Amino acid sequence: MAFLTQVAMTDRVVTIAADEIDAANASEFEAQVCAAITASHRGHVIVDITAATFIDSRCINAMAGAERFAAASGSTLSWRGLQPQAAHVIALTGLEI
């Protein structure tokens, strides 16, 4: 999965270029986000998944795992570019992403 990490001031922005985040690549997605969190040294990480037109439950699980990793690392994490359907599904789970 292609991704790009940019550092702007104190924020680290991870742009995910995959059009789908599902069982095939969710583990890699989570690993890349967690690597950015580690590199942020307790900073703020923004994950831009605008390009992802489809996510499944494995992606949502990976997002929750990244949220837990950020909290345990003393970092903050925010998500940008969630497609409306994905945002609706995540809201139904009760996750605060």
pLDDT in tens, 49-96: 988 888 999 999 999 999 999 999 999 999 999 989 888 888 888 877
pLDDT at site 95:
79
Could you tell me the CATH number of the domain that includes residue 74? 3.30.750.24
Q: Note down the domain range covering 66.
A: 3-93
Number of folded domains that form the chain:
1
CA 22 to mean position of chain CA atoms: 13
Sequence-distant (6+) residues with CB within 8 A of 11 are 43, 44, 45, 46
pLDDT at site 73:
96
Sequence-distant (6+) residues with CB within 8 A of 12 are 5, 6, 36, 39, 40, 43, 44, 45, 46
pLDDT at site 89:
81
Distance CA(53)–CA(19), nearest Å, equals 5
The per-residue pLDDT for range 36-49, each reduced to its tens digit, is: 999 888 889 999 99
Q: What is the pTM assigned to this prediction?
A: 0.85
